[in-house]
Structure 1
Amino acid sequence: MEEFLASPSLSPFGEGGTESRPQPAGSILAWFLWKILRFLFTVWIGVTLLFTSFQRSLIYQPRKGPVSTMDFGEHVERVSPIRVSTDDHLQLHGWHVLAPGTTVSPQRELVLYFPGNGGNREHRAEILTCFNRLGCDALLCDYRGYGENAGQPSEEAIAQDSLAIWTHAVEELEYAPDRIILCGESLGGGVATRLAWDLRQRGIDPAGLILKATFTSLVDTGAYLYPWLPVRTVLVDRYPSVDRIGGLACPVFVLHGQRDRIVPFELGRRLFDAAPESSTSGVKKSFRSFPGAGHEDVIFMTDPIVYDGFFEAIRAAR
């Protein structure tokens, strides 16, 4: 019996017959922190997978359905609905808005406008008539998947759309390439820069490029908006405007608000810095900042005086 109680292997106090010591508080804390970190990492992986899978739904936020010309008000008689055919057999709906007193001639000018990622053309009516007051016609077609248009938007698909719109303006509406000014807002700035770059590869240059509240790349913007996600790794549609703008030969005008919370001001400035100092026609690049303006403030600026100096420089260089 005494031998039985003395046996270490059978002692109720464990090996050696002594009671096991409680874990130090530091070990418990480390275990607890590990559990939290593992949980957070699992959540991060899940969110990253969701972002990767649904990223285009975050980037492209179209408003679908019929589009009204009501916002044109008294100018509606100068608005003509148009349809542009793409190479993959889609029909893009848009508006061709004539400036007052416009006559068909090789000298007439056109602003080809590329909107941002949200809504549709309906609420850009006042922007188009702003360019009319500068003596330019204006043309805006919604991207595929926006407004009445079928299809799904992506960077490459929209690049195809923009080239189709350009071709329609030149071949069907008979505007001279050197009389067409490209203008893009936000994501549309990436579209317009890509179009100008694609045209340059073909030896064609538009009359100018206006970039409103746009970015160096969508990757940079995404990394700013979602710093805790691996945007630089997983983003598919990248819109690398900063890599393209240096190869352009047309005049460039960049506008950006210093209180932009969507596309930071410094991205607009970096994009401008990457542009050539002047065009082949001798027009120096131009940057205009607006200290109190946010993202949409710059997009929806409709005072012609904002753009007047750039148009004067383009016209004087001809």
Structure 2
Amino acid sequence: MRKKVLIALAVAVTLVGVVFGGAFAFQRKLIYLPEAGPVPGAATVLPGGRDVTLTTSDGLSLASWYFPVAGAKAAVLVAPGNAGNRSFRAPLARALTARGLSVLLLDYRGYGGNPGEPSENGLALDVRAAQDFLTREAGTPMIYFGESLGSAVVTELATERPPSALVLRSPFVDLASVGQRHYPFLPVRWLLRDEFPTKDAVARVKAPVTVVFGAEDSIVPAEQSREVARAAGARTIEVPGADHNDPVFSDGPELIDAIAGAIR
């Protein structure tokens, strides 16, 4: 009997080890969901759009889109969420340029056919390359806009390189807080290699902050976005009934007004 118990315990421990080991080894496959493409040319999205290459400090060349607007009142650096590629953000670019804003749609490493593998440190280098590009090209005030995971990316950037304004769409407290909601059976905080501590970082941002989120968000709970907003002392725009990927967060008036009105 004792032998059977020991065997059962050994099997259980092995299974737990396999589950936890797999979760650790393959976690970035669950976090980052890139769409490779093909990605059309920027000019097919908007006349005058440019296909540009951003060079990171670790030597990667990242294809992205730039949509300059003559006499723009500001340039928007768009840091996307964890899925898709820049073609998914074409409606956002059209809506923002129609409001007189130049737009850079960044594709991270591993996204849109770009080389490299995404990680927290890698995305930090990618967004710095994007900011360097806009600093050279735009010559206007700069708005950082991040959606979901991208909110963490631009918030970290803003602590080091302050923008004229920071707009966060559906930000989370930190990655572990979101992961624990979706994988309650795992010790997510112990396993995660990438942290993305948005709430802690946004408290150090000196620029004005706007937080936009859906009241019925099933991916990032609305209360997490509210926590980020409170930490930043931010202007808050809560969209009633909206879920995480609803069209309102593609080019809806609530989002576009928030970005266009971020610089007063």
Structure 1 gaps of 5+ residues are 1-27, 200-204, 278-284
CA contact (8 A) 2:171 2:198 kept: no
Please state if 1:175 is matched with 2:139: yes
Change (3 A) 1:309 1:211: closer
1:32 CA displacement: 9.6
Distance change >3 Å, CA 166–CA 310, structure 1 → 2:
closer
Q: Is the 8 A contact 2:167 2:262 kept in 1?
A: no
1:98 counterpart residue number: 68
Residue in structure 2 matching 1:67, options 39, 53, 56 = 39
**C-alpha deviation, 1:69, in angstroms:** 4.4
Separation (CA, whole Å) in 2 of partners of 1:299 and 1:145: 27
How high is the sequence identity, in percent, across the aligned residues?
A: 36
Match of 2:153 among 176, 191, 196: 191
**Residue of structure 2 aligned with 1:260, choices 198, 204, 217:** 217
* Match of residue 16 from structure 1: none
Cα distance, 1:306–1:154 mapped onto 2, change above 3 Å = closer
TM (normalized to structure 1)? 0.76
Which has the higher relative contact order, 1 or 2, with Cα contacts under 8 A spaced 6 or more apart? 2
Q: CA deviation at 1:305?
A: 4.8
CA shift in 2, pair 1:108/1:54, >3 Å: same
Give the drift of 1:88.
Answer: 1.5
Report which of the two structures shows the higher radius of gyration computed on alpha carbons.
1
Are 2:243 and 1:294 equivalent residues in the alignment? yes
Partner SS, residue 301 of structure 1 = helix
- What amino acid is aligned across from residue 185 of structure 1 in structure 2? E
- The residue aligned with 1:57 is 29
CA distance in 2, matches of 1:298, 1:270: 24
User: Quick check: 1:134–1:308 contact (8 Å CA) kept in 2?
Assistant: no
Q: Secondary structure at the match of 1:297?
A: coil
* Alpha-carbon distance between aligned partners in 2 of 1:92 and 1:250, rounded to the nearest angstrom: 27
Unmatched runs of 5 consecutive residues or more in structure 2:
none
Shift of the 301–32 alpha-carbon distance from structure 1 to 2, 3 Å rule, reads farther
Match of 2:198 in 1: 241
2:63/2:107 contact within 8 Å kept: yes
| TM score, norm. by length of structure 2 | 0.90
Change (3 A) 1:298 1:222: farther
Deviation, structure 1 residue 33: 9.6
Q: How many residues align?
A: 264
Alpha-carbon distance in structure 2 between the residues aligned to 1:299 and 1:216: 22
Match of 1:43 in 2: 15
Distance (whole Å) between structure 1 residues aligned to residue 120 and residue 209 of structure 2: 22
Q: For 1:236 and 1:264, how far apart are their aligned partners in 2?
A: 22
Shift of 1:293: 0.9
Distance 1:242 1:84, change over 3 A: same
